Amino acid sequence: MSKQLIFKEKYVSKLKENINVESYKSSEFVYDKGQVLMLPNIESTANLAGQLKPDNDFETAITIYKAFENLELIQASDERLWAYLSHVDLYSYMQKRWNSVYIETAKNGGSGYILEHWFLNSSAQSSLLRHALAGLWWAVYLSVDDTRGENNRFDLTKILFRQLDFPTRTLGTYKLGRHKEAVIGILEFIEEHEDLFKSGFENKTRFITKHLNIVGGVKPLAYFDRKFFKGELEKVKESIGSS
């Protein structure tokens, strides 16, 4: 196997500043092969794009996470990696999953659409969770629970992907999205109160995240484990049901 490649930082900036929409309509993105670096501790996965499912974000996220399970968190926050993957290794997947430029339905010519999906706006957690590829990896990282055993470690991840905006905009908007124990606590609460979430899932998850964000205004959430977050939600269970 070969080592995973990434773009150089200045080259990413150049691509962002000089977006040629027509380049994103081609079957292969043409890039300067001299503008890459190697991640020495990460192996690339052959034909990873062919293993992804543009119509199933949950399964695609699992596949991407498993391919890059050994990423250090600082590497998983690196725009150079995700820009390379979106333009090279996983370019064919990107064209199928985010095809508005390809089929010419993107607004304002498509440059804004490309910036939003092919590039990170910043290394902030909200930007990472909204990125077309980084967001999938981070959503799994925040929700995978290895204490459940190999066959059930992604049970909570499936709940997270029940509604598209849950990981990207609902959790990603708040600092909660940086704290794995908070995310797992929220997801376990949903799992344990399945009847409560059979309807109004989006509104109820928004209520949950807003409530815990308010709690975070007076308590250092990063120091608490999943039991704390579940306990806080138990206190407002009736309010969640009526939201």
Q: Are residues 95 and 118 in the same domain?
A: yes
Q: Are residues 128 and 155 in the same domain?
A: no
Q: Are residues 121 and 103 in the same domain?
A: yes
Q: In the prediction, which pLDDT does 122 show?
A: 76
Q: In the prediction, which pLDDT does 222 show?
A: 85
- End-of-domain residue from the set 87, 109, 143: 143
The Cα–Cα gap between 232 and 51 comes to 40
Q: Which own/partner contact pairs does 114-122 have at CB distance under 8 Å and 24+ positions apart?
A: 114/19, 114/21, 114/24, 115/16, 115/19, 117/86, 118/24, 118/83, 118/86, 118/87, 118/94, 119/12, 119/15, 119/16, 119/79, 119/82, 119/83, 119/86, 120/79, 120/82, 120/83
pLDDT tens per residue across span 221-241: 889 999 999 999 999 999 998
Q: In the prediction, which pLDDT does 49 show?
A: 97
Q: Are residues 1 and 74 in the same domain?
A: yes
- Tokens found for residue 133: 């590829």
- End-of-domain residue from the set 92, 112, 143: 143
Q: Are residues 34 and 49 in the same domain?
A: yes
Q: What is the domain count for the chain?
A: 2
* pLDDT at residue 125 greater than cutoff 80: no
> What pTM, to 2 d.p., does this model score?
0.94
Residue 50 CB neighbours (<10 A):
9
* pLDDT at residue 103 greater than cutoff 80: yes
Element (H, E) at 181: helix 180-192
Q: Are residues 135 and 195 in the same domain?
A: no
pLDDT band of residue 168 (cuts 50, 70, 90) is: confident
Beta bridge partners of 6: 37
- Tokens found for residue 81: 């990696």
